[in-house]
């Protein structure tokens, strides 16, 4: 299981997430869709520990 709880992230130009939470159980699949700069890669970097919330 992957669980994120109450993460917040912003950069100098915009807020990406405010207290976002989600859970993904073993075997589940998701799609993350959004425009460039919306924070998709940032979210995955936080999940893998490459970036801090």
pLDDT tens digits, residue range 3-33? Answer: 999 999 998 889 999 999 999 999 999 999 9
Residue in the structure block whose two tokens are 């915009």:
14
Contact 51, 42 (CB under 8 A): yes
Asked, for residue 43, whether it belongs to a domain, the answer is: yes
Is there a domain that residue 10 lies in? yes
Range of the domain at 42: 2-27+34-48
Residue 53 lies inside a defined structural domain of this protein: no
Residue-level length of the chain: 53
Residues in CB range of 38: below 8 A, 6 or more apart: 16
How many structural domains comprise the chain?
1
Which pLDDT tens digit goes with each residue over 35-50? 998 999 999 999 999 9
């Amino acid at each position: 299981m992957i669980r994120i709880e109450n993460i917040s992230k912003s950069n100098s130009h915009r807020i990406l997430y405010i207290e976002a939470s989600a859970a993904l159980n073993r075997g589940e699949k998701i799609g993350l869709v959004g425009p460039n700069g919306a924070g998709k890669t940032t979210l995955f970097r936080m999940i893998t520990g490459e970036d801090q919330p």
